[in-house]
Structure 1
């Protein structure tokens, strides 16, 4: 059974479960599909009677394309905007962001808060071809990472290796960086002939990175020998917009796509596609696993709907 919330004239771009509360979700949205207009951050709670209730909503004067929860404050979320800025929101304060940082010269398309212990940094990925590193307590970036030759779509921290992150770009590469060496990526993986929109790290194998591309393909890369992917997952009909590795199953990946579908994959078996879910009528841009409830997923779409559900293939027997 799914629960849903309509974002009413706001088109979903990114969604993330709280790392603290199993029933709380942040969703970044944009007006007019993100091409013009403003954006809204929705903080949604799953109620005991299985409804999605809008706990808070915050408006910004440009589209919001991504959101990340703070890893050391359950009431803080950070968003990425089309005006080149990132915004810090205290969800206990109903008015405006508590801080805005702007250094990018084009849209910020990705934002991520580090998850390794005692490391509290933020990454922002931008269409200006750069990635910036921020200390949340500061007022200017600590470093700028250059090297991508096209727009940067995402920058995602490794959950295993401190100071390490991966980035994806329209230059058809995924790059792995050490924040101590912003001048050059440690590793550049040429993934093929398509722009790479998204990536995620395995939560069980520090050397496994999974990517999704405009050509509808999902690939797994072993960072120790990245010349060829260790697996390829085919089935989506259009671009893979976002993917997430399961925090509960080492071999499960969920993906969302411009083909209006969400798909579940098991890359360890010959029958790799576990399930195809078509409950949206527009691009599915955001997807996330609930850290606290095995199998539960949230997604958001340009059809103005946020859905929380447990796919049939991830139901726990009994």
Structure 2
């Protein structure tokens, strides 16, 4: 069974399940395909056989990514086309409780650390920089400038507290250790095109997955970074986002500009399932941390979908 919610004149960019509340998710969206207009953050609950709207927040420009706080169930953050990051409180609907502004161009990606008590935030931008934030401070803690093009994705390692990865239009994935230097510890020439997404294995600290404009998904072992360990072909167009399963080490999900979401076995190097329930670019996907096998996606066709595509597998 697939549940749907219509965002109505808002095109979905990113979706994220709450780490606290098993049936809650957030979706960041933009008017006019993110080219112009405002942005809207939707907070939804899964209630039996429907998606119920809990809260709506509006911002003056498009919202391109969303992440939840890991230490407060009511805090959710968004990344905007005006170079800002908004911090929202679900019990304060009048507007963001704080706005972080340092990036000079749109913010594509944000990610909240899951492995430390101080819970730091990363942001990646069209200005080519990555910034590290403590949201209780007004200025960023560090700025990372090694990338030579747009930073499309930033991701904390789920297993190593100080390590994070980034994917960029400069055709690389870069691995960073925030304790050591402002320069990347490792540069992987991942694709011969822009790299739009990367995600870490939840089970092996050395495995990271990348997706590019070439429609190809590649798996990398950081101990042997000069060549991918496997390659997954099938998407017709760019791979916009990758999410590794929190319940099964070999399962990943990918979404694409080819209107599909695909599910793969990275150990057997095979496609498990293709889901074709959108009529536009699919921009966002996320696994539910509380319900094995359940996933949400969002698309430019103004639909958010929640479903369990791999029945019989703990994915």
Give me the TM-score of the superposition, normalised by structure 2: 0.98
Distance in 2, matches of 1:84 and 1:232, equals 34
Matches within 5 A, 1:222-237: 222-237=221-236
Deviation track 1:258-303 (CA, whole Å, cap 9, x = no partner) reads 0000000001115x10000000000000000000110000000000
How far apart are the structure 2 equivalents of 1:119 and 1:201? 21
Counterpart for residue 302 of structure 1: 300
Closer/same/farther in 2, CA of residues 119 and 163 from structure 1, 3 Å limit:
farther
Q: Which of 277, 283, 286 is the aligned partner of 2:281?
A: 283
What secondary structure is seen at the aligned counterpart in 2 of 1:33?
helix
Alignment of 1:236-275 (within 5 A): 236-270=235-269, 272-275=270-273
**CA distance in structure 2 between the aligned counterparts of 1:70 and 1:199, rounded to whole angstroms:** 21
Q: What is the rounded CA distance, in whole Å, between the counterparts of 2:187 and 2:116 in structure 1?
A: 26
Answering whether residue 208 of structure 2 is matched by residue 183 of structure 1, we say: no
After TM superposition, which residue ranges in structure 1, 4 or more long, deviate above 3 angstroms?
A: 314-317
CA RMSD in angstroms comes to 1.0
- 1:213 is matched with 212
Match of 1:148 in 2: 147
How many aligned positions are there?
314
Q: After superposition, where does 1:51-200 map in structure 2 within 5 Å?
A: 51-200=50-199
User: Which consecutive unaligned segments of at least 5 residues does structure 1 have?
Assistant: none
77 and 45 in structure 1: CA distance in 2 versus 1, 3 angstrom threshold: same
Pair 1:315-2:312 in alignment? yes
Q: 1:10 corresponds to which residue? A: 10
Aligned-partner Cα distance in 1 for 2:198–2:300: 21
How far is 1:315 from its partner?
Answer: 3.5
TM-aligned CA deviation for residue 117 of structure 1: 3.5
Rounded to whole Å, the distance in 2 between the matches of 1:300 and 1:92 is: 25
Partner Cα distance (1:253, 1:178) in 2: 25
**Residue 130 of structure 1, CA deviation:** 0.1
- Give the secondary-structure state (helix, strand or coil) at the position aligned to 2:198: strand
SS of equivalent to 2:33: helix
8 Å Cα contact 1:145/1:182 also seen in 2 = no
Contact preservation (8 Å) 2:216, 2:232: yes
Distance 1:177 1:304 in 2: 35
Give unmatched runs, 5+ long, in structure 2. Answer: none
SS in 2 for 1:16: strand
Question: How does the TM-score come out when normalised to structure 1?
Answer: 0.97
Is the Cα–Cα contact under 8 Å of residues 191 and 212 in structure 2 kept in the other structure? no
Measure, in 1, the Cα distance between the counterparts of 2:182 and 2:68: 28
Give how far 1:94 is off. 1.1
- What whole-Å deviation, never above 9, does each CA across 1:231-256 have from its counterpart, x for those lacking one? 10000000000010000000000000
Deviation at 1:11, TM superposition (A): 0.1
Cα separation, partners in 2 of 1:265 and 1:106, compared to 1, 3 Å: same
- For 1:315 and 1:19, how far apart are their aligned partners in 2? 24
Cα distance in structure 2, aligned partners of 1:20 and 1:264: 25
For 2:13 and 2:179, the matched residues in 1 are separated by: 31
- Structure 1 residue 316: Cα displacement: 4.7
CA distance in 2, matches of 1:9, 1:258: 19
